[in-house]
Copies of this chain bind each other. A is one copy, B any other.
């Protein structure tokens, strides 16, 4: 019923075979299923990634690791290498870089929880790969193809965030660059897109939940959602997180910090331990209705 031989912004039938044959589903019920650090990914599972925007100190990341794990998080998230829109840091903020990776490693051992963190440059892949269970490609690097290829070649699992101006078609093209290296454990992550309106002047992106069933129509790869970066506004996060699970996300990423207003980066968007704990209870119940297991 769908045809479009001409190039377009949205997906057409011919794309599926010629543009991303590895990312495309072979049939209606084709969904990838795999383990990462003992955690099951695929249809029927919704692992939860939780943690701070930035790994600020060893003490703090250990504390967060224990707390999110106890509330049911499957992975600890936290940035050590971070792309920022402007080159100037505040007095409070400095990228923790190599030190941050070391602290993540300690938090991982301490709390016995696998970790995910972002890779921005090929040269840090070996260092990060020793600690991270999943390599994260950020929104600004979704179409940095040399970086994609270098990450894929490690055969480490990869989470590919959607470029905030990119279509699902572009995104599956980027995933194809990963799959073509023989790497099978690839996860997509929706994190908010540019749109004409975001409702409040402090919001920057719009969470696109329509992309979840859309991705599940076209690709077998798991798709997870990140409402924290999308809405950039703590009071909206819990409601959106519930919608993320209900729409059928195959995973959820949430920013959690013990004292959000004093977080080093993006203090408007993180939720605190108690909010996360209460939210996880509701998410698990919604997951039961939707036949998906949320968190651990």
Contact = CB atoms under 8 A, between A and B. Distances in A.
Interface in A1-42: 1-13, 16, 18-20, 28
A92 interface: no
Given A2-B11, A2-B13, A146-B121, A210 B204 contact: no
Contacts of A232: 7
A80 to B, nearest CB: 14
A194 to B, nearest CB: 4
Interface stretch (A46-54, A66-74, A98-106, A234-242): A234-242
B217 A235 contact: yes
Contacts of A60: none
A230 B169 CA distance: 18
A268 interface: yes
A289 B290 CA distance: 12
Q: Tell me the dominant secondary structure on chain A's binding face.
A: loop
B195 A195 contact: yes
Contact of A6 (B4, B167, B193): B4
Contact of A289 (B144, B209, B247, B286): B286
A264 interface: no
Contacts of A174: 85
28 contacts: A2-B6, A2-B13, A2-B202, A8-B8, A8-B10, A8-B202, A10-B197, A10-B200, A12-B201, A19-B88, A87-B177, A121-B146, A163-B165, A165-B193, A167-B199, A168-B197, A198-B210, A199-B211, A199-B214, A210-B231, A210-B236, A212-B239, A239-B247, A239-B248, A240-B247, A242-B248, A245-B246, A246-B247
